[in-house]
Structure formats: structure tokens, C-alpha cells
Structure 1
Amino acid sequence: MVNCGLVTEKNEPVPLKSISVEVRVQDHVATVSSTLQYVNEEERPLEALFVFPLPADAAVCHFSAKIGEQEIVAEVQERETARDQYDDAVSSGCQAFLLEESEESPDVFRLSVGCLSPGQNAAVTIIYVTELAVQADHSLRFCLPAVLNPRYTPAGSAAGIVSEISSGCGSVPYTLTLSVHVSSPKPISKLESSCTLDPLVFLHSDHTQATVNLSPGHMFDKDVELFVYYQDTHQPSAIVEAGVTTAPSGSLMRDPVVMISLYPEFPEEVMSSLVTQGEFVLVIDRSGSMDEMMHNGTGAQTRIESAKDTLLLLLKSLPMGCYFNIYEFGSRFEFFYPQSVEYNQDTMDQALKRVKEMTEDMGGTEILQPLKHIYSQPCYPDHPRQLFIFTDGEVFNTKEVLDLVKHHAHSHRCFSFGIGEGASTALITGMAREGSGHAQFITGTDRMQPKVMQSLRFALQPAVVNISVDWTLPDGITVDTLSPPINVLFQGQRSLIYAQLKGESSGGSEGTVTVKYSLKDQPVTNQLHFCLKPTEETGLPIHQLAARTLIRSLEQKERSGDADVESIRSRIVELSVQAGVSSVRTAFIAINKDSRQTVKGPLLQRRVPTHCLCSNCIGPPRRLKKGIPFVIICFACCFACCIPAEPEVTGPEQKIGLMTKVRNFFRCGSKTEASLTAQPDSESMNEAAPDPPKDPLLQLVSLQKASGCWELDATLADVFGKTEDELTNQKPAQVDGSVWATLLALIWLYGCKIEQQVEWQFVAMKAASWIGSQKVGDLSQCVCVGNVLLGCQVTEETLGI
């Protein structure tokens, strides 16, 4: 069997040898410098193509290449112009480098390395800036994507950069080194990572600066996540960054730019009661890739099994009186009900029965059509629509999906969940941003349930309306807000605002930004005072992120066709070139014009593997110019390159799933194509592996009624490790069996599962509300008896009844 991924004619790995990354975190912004070391070990000139992921909201702001002692710094140019220059340079035997952003998905880039002579080394450096997302525990998440899954392409769609992903089985043939420097006005509490880190080193006694390195030997075969914890992260802040004095007068790069981080604090009396209305539409990915494991550790579930457990928890947590529906999608889509139904015991039971039967057998990942169907359904008055979308995010038409979500943003909120390594950040964060919701990523050993429950709390918060942002600045200073209008606010969630400051102050040195909104008919005001003096020298990350924000808005306008497309394209190119940041209309181009010797001989083309699932055979390159010969060596995983992209499987083997067969093929080490079509014999089907032990928490949740109560029976007693007689014999007189069972469930949750409270908080709220509506008698006595029975020490006040 040949090596997986793309190899040379001698069956050797392609020539990317290492990736070295330096990260500078300044408060809420990270500047990332990645250096990729190439070497041409061929006997002929080489062209390498490397398709790789970046964070969706990153602004690429520098690109250079060093060959020997000579460094070539790239320029940002209009895309077609840059492509033509690259083609001409490569065709003429000159060394050239081209960096492009995908037209379909802004989190995918393609780097073309042209005309490396035999034995020649090249170090390519890419620098980008990105915002750090705030997590539920107030940490800031930095993610260095490594995994780029093959994106499912709907029938009839043209392929682009994202279809040129090369495959790799196992580890990639290059390593990663990573160093991180963190600085902030607020003290740094700690840094955590999904990978092994060296000890954190503080550079100052006040803990405002620290460094940490990734432990040696890391193979870059999964995303690297880093979580930065500051003291008082949730406090609002402002960074004012000075402009470039040589930039044109009045331009974005000439004037100071301010980045405001806002954390609205809602009144406690408003947040104490969550809304009980709404239409909840749960959208579940059932494509073949959902059969992948959540992680490689002990007790790992497949993605689909984890999603099913999460659906159970979600369905049990919904409030009585709301409406709900569930959509399943792959190459096609299905729905549980023709339209959303009222949430009650019957509809909940029907839905749970279908959830248990879910498998990952619906082919590819096509999310556009189910979304269109959902949006075609009329909304229920006084029941705001809330979408919960679960996917591993491997789609081709990302921008088309985001435009659809944005078009319907007035009628719903969208909460998105990226499952597993390689989920598209552009898709997951984009759907939440355009749908005025919240995005979550579940990677490594993360549990899906707590993250989904955090989003459900957001969804159940009262809607914020009439949001306005006002500026108070000294005379002579005006402000041009660059960020889109804020149309959603959640308790504890950050909102970023970029603004360009114009003019000269006649005296004052302080500005104020005021955010006003209405919450349950109550007016609320949040204010932040900030100094107009620019922060100490930080480079230009704030300007570059502001330019990126403006460019993204313009790109969306261009796709909508609501304005003069040509003028918008010109403005995108102007901003991109001026700020030196990437866009879909521009590209970075670097040409070694000082090379003394023209490269001779036939040019080999190599595609550098990224770690990903099996993908289709890569199509021909877009270039065949001036008679330069080339060779494409294109191996997907062995014969898997001949398999269509997760077609819909029909017939007797439908339940097996094509991608499951492919994975089983490699796990078993078979080399025959017969493994793809072989049917399991009846004996092996009857010898199914025993079910893993059930999670007691999920067992308890599965027994709860839609109203919030439990029944007193043997299955409930089993969760507690008791018999039904033990529960019944200890029941206080005059207390109903369901009341006693529900009270015991609450005591068990608070006494035995308090560390998972975020998962069962809504289940407990429903239970406490239900008990409160019943005649209990002496509640204190019941709690005392329940504590003794279950071995807990829960107070009556804790239960919230």
C-alpha cells in the first residue's frame, strides 16, 4: 500500500518539513506569525500547493518568503492581476509565491510555491491578526486550525479552492513548534490548552505578561486550542491605536482606530426568570462524517451518539408551552413534523423515539436546503424562532448559507455548534453572527451537553430590542463606526465595536460610548469611558481587524446585488491594498525578480497534505501556460479517490454507510475493493458489541416527564442505586409518589452531580416549578428524609422550590 496523502515519484512525502508559529496575545487580539519550511528534494524544479485553514475572522496582513539569505515581501494586488503575474513568473522559470483566500469559504487559503530549484530551501512566513472568542467561563479562546476536512460540494456546484484539499491518513509529514506571549492591562490568571504545554512563565510580578511554549514533539494533526484567563475579563475595555502618518489623509490607516469591548450587565430582577415561550428548531447533521469519534481517548463516543445524548437533554429542558421541531440533513433532509408542534408529553415522546433511531447514513453535508425549508415555514406569533444547528461543518457553499441566514435574521436567532476537529469556523461562527445567536465548538474531550445548555440559556433570555450606540467625544473629534449595527445582546457575551476617529481634539482627552436598549420593557444603559490617547505601540492589529470587518460587510453587499457591484469591488480592493489585508478580491504575490539563474527543466507540481478525512481525487490545476510541462501526483487514501463524495447509499446495505465501510477498510488493513461492498454476515450482526454503561445523569433525565416531574418506579430507583421498595418505604405520609420521586431527583442532582449543574439546570428548574404547583405539606421533613435516603446534605433553599 502506498503512503497516504500526496507523495513524490519515489513514494516519499511532499516537501513541507516544519511549521513554526509565534503568537502574541494583546488583551482580546492575537497576532500570529507562521513560518513554513519547504525543501525541494526532487531532481527537478518543483511547484508546491498547500491548502490550509485559518480562523474565519482572521485578517492576513503579511506574507513573505526567504530563499537562502534573500527575503521577498509580498504585495497585495487585485486577484486576477496577481494570478497573471504568478503565472508569468512561473512560466518564465522565476521563483514566485501566491497566497489566495477561498471564494467559497473565508477560513480556507491556498499557498502556491512556484519554481523551487532542486535542493533549494524556502521559508514562507504568513502573519495574521484575529479576535479571540469569549467562552462561557470568561476565558478567551485562541485556535490554530490544523485539520481541514473535505468540504461537501452540492451537485451542480463549481469546485474551487476548498475542493483542492489533499488527503492524509494518520500524522502529517511535518511538525509544529509554537510559542505564545500574552500581555494585558489585566493580570493573567492562567493558560490552558488542548495540547501539552510547558510551564507558564510570568515576565512581571504583576502577572500582566507571560510566555508559554507547546511541548516538543507535537504532530500537527489536530487543532491547537489555547484558553487565556484574565482577572475581570468581563469588564468593558477600549484600545485606541494610532494610525500611520504616511497613509493618505482621511484614510482608515491614517486616523486612529478604537476597539471597544462591551459586556452588557442585565438587571438581576430581569434575569431571574427565563422566558417560557419560543419555537425551537433543532437541526442535526446526519452525514457520514458524523460517524467519526469525538476524540481518541477512553470512553469516546461517535459524533452522532454525542449529538443524540444532547438532543435528549435539550428536549427534556424545553419549557412547557413552547413549540419545537427537529430536522435531519445530509445529502437530503427530513423533518419530524410538517411544522413545529406544541411541546407536551406526547410530542416529546414521539421525538425521543425518532432520536434514538438516528444514524449517520444520509450521505454528504448539504445544509442549504433544510434551512430554506425552515425559513419557508410561518413563525408562531409571540414565539420567537430559535435555531440550534449541529454539524461537523464540512460544506462547500459557506457564503451562500451565511447570506441565507442573514436574509432571515429578522425572524429568528441561530445557535450553531461545530462538532469535532476541522469544523469550518467560517460556517459555525458565521451562522451565529448573521443569525444574531451564539457559536460553540466541541473539540477534543469537550462534552457537547454543557456547551449546548449554555446556548440554551442565551436562547431563553429575554430579547433585547431598540439597541443604540452613541458616542460622546471632545470638540473637533468625530467618529465613523466601522462595525455592523449591534442587533443582539446576551448577558455576559462580548460585543466588539470598531470605529475610526477623525479630526483633532481642541482640549478633551476622554471619550464615552453609551449603549442603550430595552429589556422586558425596561430601559437599560451601559457606559464606558476611555482615554483617547493611543495605547502604547502595538503595531496595527486594530486597524487591520477594522479593515477586515469593513471588507466582510462589503463582500456581503456585493453578493446580495443590492448596490453597484463594480464600485463595491473597487472599494474592497482599495481597502485591502491600503490596509495590506486579505480579501476575496485580492491576493498576496511575491516574485523573486533578482534571481540570477532561470529555473530550467520540467516543473513538477506537488500538493501538500493537510490532515483530513478521505476526499475525492483532486482535479486538474487551473494553469497550463506557455508550454511548461508538469506532473500531478494525486493520491487520495489508496483507492478511496475513486469513491464519489459520500453518495446516498440505497438498498440492503443502507444502514452500513459508505464512509463507515471505507473507515473499516483501513482499520482492518484490507487491500481489496471487495471490502467496500461486502455485506456483514448474520452471525457477526448477531454478535453485536455490548452497549457501554449508561451515564446515570442521562438516565435520570430520560425518565423526566415533559411537565418536569418523575414517576416513582424501579427505573428511577436504579439510578439512585436503590430498590423501588426502599424509595416507597421511606416516602413521608401524605406525600404523592410523583412529588416524592421528583424531590428525590432534585436532591440527587444537587447532592451528587453539582459539578455538571450547567447540564441539568433547566431540568431542575422545571422540576422545582412543578413541585411548587403541588401540595407538598412539610417540605423540610421531606428534604431531610431524602437526604438520609440518598446520602446527601442538600438544604431546602438550594432546591429553589
Structure 2
Amino acid sequence: MNHCGLLTAKKEPVPLKSIEVELEVRDHVATVVSTLLYENKEDKPLEAVFVFPLPGDAAVCHFSAKIGQTQIVAEVKEKQKAHEEYDDALSSGQQAFLLEESDQSPDIFSLSVGSLPPGESASIRLEYVTELAVQADDGLRFCLPAVLNPRYQPQGSEGGSVQVTSVPASLVPYSLSFSARVSSPHPISKVESKCSLDPLQYLNTEKTQATVKLAAGHKFDRDVELLIYYKDAHQPTAVVEAGQASAKPGTLMGDPVVMLSLYPEFPQAVMSSVVSCGEFVFLIDRSGSMDFPMDNRNQKETRIGSARDTLLLLLKSLPMGCYFNIYSFGSSYQHIFPKSVEYNEKTMEEALKKVEEMGANLGGTEILKPLKHIYSQPCIPSQPRQLFVFTDGEVGNTKEVINLVRDNSGSHRCFSFGIGEGASSALINGLAKEGGGHAQFITGTDRMQPKVMQSLRFALQPAVVDISVTWDLPKAVSVTVLSPPITTIFQGQRSLVYAQLTGQSPEAAEGCVTVKYSLAGHPSQNQLRFSLKPAEDTGLTVHRLGARTLIRSLEMEERERRGQQDGRVKQKVVELSVQSGVSSSFTAFIAVNKSDSKAIQGPLLRRNVPAPIMIGGAVPQSLSTQSYDFAAPVMGSPLPSFGSFDNSFAAAMPKQPRRDPLLQLVSLQKASGCWLLEPALAAALGKTSEEVENPKPSAVNKEVWATILALIWLHGFKSDVQDEWELLAMKAASWLCAQKAPCVTECVEAGNALLGCKVQKDSLGI
């Protein structure tokens, strides 16, 4: 039977017809307005429930509904009160609208549209503001999450999970249109996306304003990700925003709020002394969904395959004398060594053998247990612990996981990597933020390796300690910092600080902020001077982001103190959320249509609006017409099936292609940094053993010759991906220098002649 119109996979009509998204980017802050159009084409009144993702650090600040000519603006209220008001409205035949954040994860929201009469349309407007993260290549990343994969909820974990109705991306029954306007004090050099975009249109000759649109016919098989590049953008800046005229001075919304973007620069002398110690713990997701392709258009490279290749590069790049271990997890977890071991040739080879055997065959996504085990291990003196977490982020107990990382943040730094479409931004960003590390997202055709190697370079930077921020302001002005204290600083990476400024500042007054810290025993400081005059026409974006920052800190404090206090922190969150109009986990947006005196008759039909789910490439026939209701044990039956659901078609995935030449060469490097003169090296260089051995100067030993050849090949043929092999090449150059080998210049000349390259000896670092 052919069904007409918009249907869920359960063959029910979908009242959501379209989503229109307008993005406005100002420098590194984004305002997003989504308009959702609903229409009831059935003969009974409906309640439509839509569970969907938003960025984990978004500040939702406006929610309204328009029915005909009537506009109803929602208010923020305590969550329980909002629920009661919504239920009362529906039971009395009124229309009502409810928007709330999931208790378990701040990047999942639920939107309920209640009592939509037959033939009626409703337009829902949702607005949020968010900061844009700085990427490895200095681009700013905006992501509109579209894909909502089921989140695995472990047995016995805290609280219940939101029920999600999902369909494969190809079956999503509503359309998406997306347009963006970008403005900045700096020229916009380019805007990139893995989704098809119409060409960038500049609005002025300075190229500081531009618009771009998603090309028509976007498929919901990926999140909409924009990478925005400005010229010379990453300079320290301060934006002072005037308070709300209607709010009382002395309150957060009534006073000016400043947003500081700090980009500390470390002294060059310190940066050249990269640390050669540390305990490196790698935690790899091996749940069934890691067997999905990295990119739907290229089925060959799977997430787990890319993770294996990345581990190879990481293990080859570690410094001699450090310690390491590799954990992997799904429904259970495993580790290669009972405890972290010293890095040498024997332990590296043993680990690589185990890595080669790793498959996506461990079921669901339970990350809490391996993290607890890692934290239970005693730290090794003088070897700072660095944790690298690789996951596709399909985790239900996000807040529990982030709390655990925060509780242990004093003993380690956590670097996190979200792999594939639908990875939870709340989880990936939260792990890095609370663990004092750095977060990266790897989607579509991205190579995982350059992003991971950038994080390894951060991990090898000396830890910054004794961080303090001091303010120098006019006497009549006092400051209340809204952001948590800065606990980590990386070279060239942005730190954001929000603060409320109370009191009257004289005309043309200036403020100054000084960040002091100690780096490898060297005291350092960076200063930023700024005008206290409020910037014009910023709306209340900075206030809302500042309120969101403070709300998140208070929510974390409330969870830490749960059971041993009287709810005052929760009350403070509710008051701040209501005052600022910004959502929190304890509040919800509620709107009731009181203008229509006519009660809506008849029982309500519930319609779950499906969100797109990524289930790999081709959808097996048995899955293509089914929806996946995801509920925690608290809400009924436990969820036994997600791991097995993953595995049901994991076996059908194509095998990894033959290893690329770079990884082939890298795999032959020894832990010390050298290469051996062996047939496998000759093959990796594209030569026979005789061709490689004959030109060797007689006074030079085989390892030195082999290592110089490998370095020439890397510089000569793989300079475009230097960020992937730079650290292991530095290790090789250090090994060569330690050998004090004769005839190095002669070796480089002979190696260039053999490989057909023109690499200078100086560029090899020897």
C-alpha cells in the first residue's frame, strides 16, 4: 500500500512539515533562530512530541508559538510548575507548548505541541546563542546537530532518559532549510562545510560581512557543520554589553557584562622544551556503532578503522621514557596492560599487535566503568596523566560521566574526540572542559589523525600552573566573575571569561585584565586592556552566554552537593534562569494560548516526531521501516538491543582497504625513533632491497641510513600532512643527532638521488 503525505516509520502522519534555520554569526558568537512549522491534517486534535539535539553549550533564550494571527511568547518557569501548567491547559482544552532540556544530557531537548485542532497550523520559533569553538586549523566551528542517535543508558545509572523516536536519515519526513549571515571586524576568508552550500556572497568590499545558504535538497544524513575562517582573527578581545533597560541595576541582566577572549602566547624558549614525560592513557570506543563508515559517501573507512590508524601514529609519536596504556570499552571494558607500562620497543610492539585486532564488537557504550577503573589506578610520580577518549558519543548518562571526570580533574588532563555524525557535543565538550583538555569533532571526510596529533602536541606542552586573573578597573566599578576559574591554558588556544560589571564608570574609562601563570618554572603573564564603553547593537547575547555559564557551574555544584544541602543552589539556578530567560535543567519554557475561549474537544492523539538516526551506510530492509524508541530502564523495559542492533549489520561492513603508504612507513619505525634497513622499508619506499642498500655510504651504519631515507621520504612526499608525522620525525631526528654519525650530508645527498627528492638537510632537523 502506498502511503501519501508525511509519515513516520510506524505509518503515522507527522505533523511537523518543515524546519527553517537562520544563523547569525558575529565574530565567534552565533545566534540561531529555528522556525518549526506544524500542521494537523488529521480529523482529531493532536499532541506532537519532538525530541531533538542542540549544541550542548547553547543558551536557549526564546520560545514562542504563532497560531493564525495570535503570537504567544513562552515564559521560563520551574520545571515541575511548567509541566503542571501544560497538563492543566491540555485537560481544559487549551493549546499549550512546552520546551525542556533532558535531565540526563544538556544537548537533548523535548518540544511538546499540545492540542493542535484538526486543520490547524502552528509556527514555533526557538532561539539560542552559542560560542563557536576554535579548530586545529584556526577555523571556527558551528554545528547544527540534526542527527540524534540513540544514547546507550547503562543499567542502574542515574535518572531516566528521554524517549527518542528515530528513523534512518533517508526516511525523515520533514524538510530543512538553512541560511547564515556572518559578520566580523576581520575579513572573512572562507566558509566551508561537508554539506552542499550555495556560493558565499560578500555584502561589502571589505569582506567583513557575508551570507551563505545550504543548497536545496539537503538530506538529514549529517549534522550541518560550518567552518568559518577569518584573517588574523585570533587576537585577544573584549566586548562590553549594556544591561537590559527594564532590569534592576545590580542584577545580572541590569548591569553591563563583559566577554573576554584570551589567547595566551607562551615564551618561545619554554615552548621549544617539549616535555618528554607523562602517562598517556588511550580509551577507545568499541561499541557496535564504531563499525559505521566515517562518511556515508565513502563506505570504506570505518570509525574503528580510523581509530586503529590513529593509535598507530600516537604510539609511534610518544617520547621514550613515558608511560602508557590502552583501554577499550563497549558494554564491558578491556585493557592491554594491567597498569600503565614504560614506553619502549617491547611494550609498543605488544600494544600495536592488540590494536590491530581491535574490532567494534563490544556491544553498547558504557564509558563510566572504564573511567572509574582508570581513576582508581595510582598516578605515577613525575609522569602527569593525559587521558585521550575516542567515542562516537552515543552515551545516555552524560552528566554522570562528566561529573566523574570533574571529580578527578586534579590528577589528569582529558582530551576528547567525537567521531561521526550525531556524537554528543555535551559529552565531548564536557569531558575536555572538566578535564582541562581539548575537544575535537571528526565527521564526514575528516581525517582523524591531524586533529588527534594536535591534541598530542597540546598534551606534550608543559602544564600551566598557578593561574590567576586580576582586574584593574575604575574605583566606582566592581566585578563579579561569572565563569569558573581558568584551570588550563594551551598555547594559542582561546579562553573565554564572562564577568558582570557593577557601578558607574566614567566616560572613556578603561579596564585591564592580567592573566598570570607559571610554565615549566617560568612565571609568565598576558594583559588585555579594553574600553568600558558598551558596544552598540549586541542584543543581550553576551548576558545570555554569561548567564548560561553561571547556570552550568551552579548545576554542577548542585549535583556535587546533592543529598547534603537544602536545595538553595537549585533555587538559585531557577531564579537566574527565570531572570535571564535562559533554559536550565531545572526549568522549562511554557506557553499557553489563553486567547481562544473555545475548548478543543475530543481525546488527543499523540504523535512522536522522529529525529534522524545514523545507522551506517545502506539500511537493511528489516530496519528501514521501523522506529527505535529509546527509553531508560526507569521508563519501562531496559534497553537490551542497541549493541546487538549495531552488530546485526556490522558484519556486513566492507573490510579495511590496504594501508596507505604513510601508515606503512610509520608502522616500521622503532620506539626509539629509528628505522631498520629491511625489505619492508624498501617496499614502503617503493624500491627493491638492492636499490636501497647499494647507495649507502660505507662509513654509515644501516639504521642511520634507513632513518635518513625515511625522513627524506616523509618531507619529500608527505609534506601536505606534516602535522600527522611531525612528532615522530622529531623523535627520529633526535635519535640521529644522538648517534653522532659521520657523513650525514653525504647520506642526505645520496638519499635525495635515490628517492628523486630535493630535501635540504636543515629541514630534516639533523
Look up the match of 1:789. Answer: 754
CA distance in 2, matches of 1:787, 1:398: 53
- Residue 638 of structure 1 is matched in structure 2 by 626
Q: Matches of residues 395-544 of structure 1 in structure 2 within 5 Å?
A: 395-506=395-506, 509-544=509-544
Answer yes or no: is 1:583 the counterpart of 2:577. Answer: no
CA distance 1:10–1:373, change in 2 (3 Å): closer
In 1, Cα distance between the equivalents of 2:513 and 2:639?
Answer: 51
One-letter amino acid of the structure 2 residue matched with residue 118 of structure 1: P
Alpha-carbon offset, residue 286 of structure 1: 0.7
Cα deviation, 1:670-701, whole Å, max 9, x if unaligned, reads: xxxxxxxxxxxxxxxxxxx7762320000011
Unaligned runs of 5+ in 2: 617-622, 631-636
State the alpha-carbon separation in 1 of the partners of residues 540 and 220 from structure 2.
Answer: 29
Q: Does 1:800 align with 2:756?
A: no
**Superposition pairs of residues 185-196 of structure 1, within 5 angstroms:** 185-196=185-196
CA contact (8 A) 1:646 1:658 kept: no
Which residue does 1:760 correspond to in 2?
Answer: 725
User: How far does the alpha carbon of each residue in 1:129-177 deviate from its partner, in whole angstroms, 9 at most, with x for none?
Assistant: 0000001111110000001110101113466343434333524111111
Per-residue CA distance 1:352-404 (angstroms, 9 max, x = gap) = 11111111111110101111110000000100000000001111111111111
Report the alpha carbon displacement of residue 440 of structure 1 after superposing the two structures with TM.
0.4
Q: Is the 8 A contact 1:363 1:647 kept in 2?
A: no
CA distance in 1, matches of 2:289, 2:202: 42
Residue 229 of structure 1: how far off its partner (Å): 1.0
Specify whether residues 302 and 9 from structure 1 end up closer, same or farther in structure 2 by C-alpha distance, changes over 3 A only. closer
How much identity, in percent, do the aligned residues show?
62
Q: After superposition, where does 1:630-709 map in structure 2 within 5 Å?
A: 638=626, 645=639, 659-662=646-649, 692-709=657-674
- CA offsets 1:648-691 (integer angstroms, 9 cap, x no match): 98xxxxxxx652325679x9xxxxxxxxxxxxxxxxxxxxx776
Q: Please give the secondary structure, in 1, of the residue aligned with 2:444.
A: coil
Deviations 1:321-362 (A, max 9, x none): 000001111111111111100000111111111111111111
Matches within 5 A, 1:302-317: 302-317=302-317
Q: Cα–Cα, structure 1 residues 4 and 355, in superposed 2: closer, same or farther, change >3 Å?
A: farther
Give 1:220 shift.
3.0
Q: What SS is found at the alignment partner of 1:484?
A: coil
2:528 is aligned with what amino acid? L
Equivalent residue, structure 2, for 1:43: 43
1:741 corresponds to which residue?
706
Cα distance change, pair 663–5 in 1 and its aligned pair in 2 (3 A) = farther
Judged with a 3 Å threshold, the aligned counterparts in structure 2 of structure 1 residues 98 and 614 are, in CA distance, closer, same or farther, namely farther
Letter in 2 for 1:217: G
**In the TM superposition, what is the alpha-carbon distance from 1:565 to its structure 2 partner?**
4.3
1:603 aligns with 2:604: yes
Counterpart AA for 1:193: S
Retained in 2: the 8 A contact 1:101–1:582? yes
- Where 2:613 maps in the other structure, the secondary structure is coil
2:161/2:396 contact within 8 Å kept: no
Find the residue that maps to 1:167 and give its secondary structure: strand
Aligned partner letter, 1:220:
F
SS of residue paired to 1:451: helix
Q: Distance in 2 between matches of 1:636 and 1:212?
A: 33
TM-score of the superposed pair, with normalisation by structure 1: 0.91
Matched, 1:210 2:197: no
Equivalent pair of 2:10/2:627 in contact (CA under 8 Å): no
Contact 1:241 1:257 in 2 (8 A): yes
Q: Distance in 2 between matches of 1:664 and 1:491?
A: 43
Is 1:725 equivalent to 2:652 in the alignment? no
1:247 equivalent in structure 2: 247
Letter in 2 for 1:103: D
Change (3 A) 1:391 1:468: same
Match of 1:258? 258
Matched-pair contact (CA < 8 Å) for 1:150–1:163: no
Deviation (angstroms), 1:179: 1.1
**Matched residue, 1:345:** 345
Q: Specify the alignment match of 2:285 in structure 1.
A: 285
Give SS of 2:480's match. strand
Check 1:98–1:161 CA distance in 2 against 1; reply closer, same or farther (3 A cut): farther
Q: Distance in 2 between matches of 1:508 and 1:192?
A: 39
1:467 partner SS: strand
- CA shift in 2, pair 1:389/1:185, >3 Å: same
Alpha-carbon distance between aligned partners in 1 of 2:552 and 2:343, rounded to the nearest angstrom? 39
Which whole-Å CA distance do the structure 1 matches of 2:598 and 2:542 have between them?
Answer: 41
Change (3 A) 1:766 1:6: farther
Cα pair 1:252 1:543 within 8 Å, conserved: yes
Deviation track 1:17-64 (CA, whole Å, cap 9, x = no partner) reads 111011111111100000011111111111100000000100000000
Matching residue's letter, 2:572: R
Corresponding residue pairs, total: 753
Letter in 2 for 1:328: S
In the alignment, what sits opposite 1:594?
595
Q: 1:279 to 1:315 in 2, by over 3 A?
A: same
The CA deviation string for residues 86-131 of structure 1, in whole angstroms up to 9 with x for no partner, is 0011111111100000110000000001011112111111000000
Where does 1:64-463 land on structure 2 (aligned, <5 Å)?
64-157=64-157, 160-168=160-168, 170-298=170-298, 300-463=300-463
Partners of 1:431 and 1:152 lie apart in 2 by 17
What is the SS of the residue equivalent to 2:148? coil
- Distance in 2, matches of 1:757 and 1:273, equals 20
- After superposition, the C-alpha distances for 1:251-301 in whole angstroms (9 at most, x for unaligned) are 000000000000010111111131100000000111111111110223631
Partner Cα distance (1:2, 1:765) in 2? 63
Q: TM-score, normalised by structure 2?
A: 0.95
Whichever residue aligns with residue 305 of structure 2, its letter is E
Per-residue deviation, 1:249: 2.6
| Amino acid corresponding to residue 489 of structure 2 in structure 1 | L
Once the two structures are TM-superposed, the CA of residue 9 in structure 1 deviates from its matched residue by: 11
- Residues 50, 639 of structure 1: alpha-carbon distance in 2 compared, 3 angstrom cutoff: closer
C-alpha spacing 1:600/1:291, structure 2 compared with 1 (3 Å): same
Superposition CA RMSD, Å: 2.2
Provide the rounded CA distance (Å) in 1 between the counterparts of 2:645 and 2:202: 51
How far 1:524 moved relative to its partner? 0.9
Aligned-residue offset at 1:248: 2.0
* Aligned-partner Cα distance in 2 for 1:171–1:22: 24
1:767 to partner: Cα distance:
0.5
Structure 1, 81-90 or 507-516: larger mean CA deviation: 507-516
